Structure 1
Amino acid sequence: MESFQTPKSYVTIVYWLLGGLLVSLALVPVSGVAIGLVGYFTLLAWRYFNWQYSFITKFPAQHTAHNVIGRWPGRQEGGKNRKLILMAHYDTAPVSLLYSPKQQANFRLSLIISLGFMVLAALTALLEVAGVGQPYITYLRYGFMIYFAGQAFVGTMGYWRKGYTNGASDNATGVAAALATADRLRQANLADTDIEVVLTSAEEVGMIGAYYYVQAHKKEWNRAQTLVINFDTLGAGKLTIIEQTGTLEPIRYNNVATQIARQLIEKEAFRGRTQVGQWHTADFDSVWFVRNRIPVLALCALDANGQMPRIHQPDDTFGNLDLRPMETAVDLAEAVVHEWLSAN
């Protein structure tokens, strides 16, 4: 187990970001320093919702979380083993209205609008302190304050009413797939390959467990000899190879792992069972590997509308699972690993 400090849920982060903006905007008539505070919280939100490291994840209250890691070292000596990392997050999410089917479809747009309003709020604060456009600029500032308060309420009301999800699909299925894939490959006796299962915590807070794992170990890895597969939410829909994520900044999975997977799904064994897609409703633990140019394959299951059914909802329970995407994910991951090893 590797420990790290994190907020317990994204509810804390939402309150810090939006509460910080509200207080800063309220202080604009009192002091020009408030302009800097509005800009600061806008920058924190901009980085956080574009899936970059943001210092907001260090704000109180912090608690100790753990990544759980299992290792099966290869038998080749001299430190030249190839590295295989199989990942899935094991934490569950607070219930959220923002992840209902209707809201999922507009999640990215709502984030972009909110980030745009934050930038406009910072500009509004600057104009008000400069005495420009009164009294309309003051009214606009009040309007932004009402909007941010409403966002905080809508974004966290589900948690206060329902608590945490059961997390059967998101992400017990991913954990099961990572362990099953590791077990198959371990029995295959890959003598020159180190197999590592990494079950991360605080993914739902902003992929924080994966961030600390990558920061702690990336200097140990030879990119040409490392392969990562991330399993996330495999309980409904069709298995999907993710080729792009991101809010404003596109995060592209242009790497050898994804290329191998895309080639394999053209074969008879996977035809009709898999697809290629994008996901712009939040992101995956794999984002930190992409940012560090480490080959990573991100697997999830999406329905015909490109959504993940029941995520962050009370009905994400075992009785609603379809295990076929998870089973296909294990088959595909195993095949990708064997193809990668044969090419290296």
Structure 2
Amino acid sequence: MALDRISLSHFRNHRGTELGETRHLNLLFGENGAGKTNVLEAISLLAPGRGLRRAALDEMSGPHGDGGFAIGASLKEQGHESARIGTYVEPDRTGRRLVRINGAEANAGSLGEWLAMGWLTPAMDRLFMDSAGARRRHVDRMALALDPGHARNVSRYETAMRERNKLLETGGDTTWLDAIEAQLSEHGERVAAGRKALIAALTDELTALPDQPFARPLLTYRPGGPTEFEALREDFRRQRARDRAAGRALTGPHRDELEVVMAGSGQAAALCSTGEQKAMLIAMTLAHAVLAAEGRPGVLLLDEVAAHLDPVRRTALFQRLRQGRAQVWLTGTESAPFEDIIEEAAVWRVSNGTVERL
């Protein structure tokens, strides 16, 4: 099963773009600024969340969209359309993204029941050097691709945390605090369980992969506090005075950390070379793509990846992409790095927000 008949209307610099007759491997070529990554971003919005750029909705509308845009695609199985999914923002109503599945309105979370999405972009190259919060968001996005309900658990946890912080700040009634902390602990337990399950599954998949040519990362989930309901609730209750003084909760799943070291050397990922970090990130992305495509159609978006790999690693990457179940979308400024797969791929040239099938 794969995406086909993809349409972009008034999305960034794409006034009206159509991509049909897709394949397992799909390539987008063009100069920098032509709109290649915009196509990937549009596809990423066919999954729950804010897309691969995490941009505000009003940033996505093109100059002629009056604040609105639309993205649609068919899910194709064995050559036949099995579903039509889409997301849009109505003109002059940029505060809300709407979703339709087979013509009926749906919530954005339900997109995750139809499609498992993953991506790797140049902006993610600093993941191991970035903040713990950035790594938590990365973990949650990967967990969402395996469990569509994970985003709901994270959202409810964050909402309950904001309510608790406000009650602590205003000296709210302890009965209300007890109730909010019970909700917080319930959602926190689920968030922690989703993260732990993801890291365990990724570890198993990475263990099955060879160390070369991509350096194999070793992943460890470091909880930011208790992870079970009763222990979480007791911890929140006990730490009220400290958290009130700090203006925020100092323990809990919102303080979780993903620890990554390179197999063999044991070197922390943050201290590894840029090439080693890139290789480990690719290994994680490929392992996640295998897991994500097990239960639902999978789509993997790789923005400007091949150009930064040596020939040996490029060949290995293409071989794994061929063998994987996920449909793959790659971008590049020139065709040379893709010579090994260009004959078997669907290829488009992107220029000033328009696409031409080659």
TM-score higher than 0.5 here?
no
What is the TM-score normalised by the length of structure 1?
A: 0.28
Q: Normalized against structure 2, the TM-score is what?
A: 0.27
Bigger helix fraction: 1
* More strand, by proportion: 2
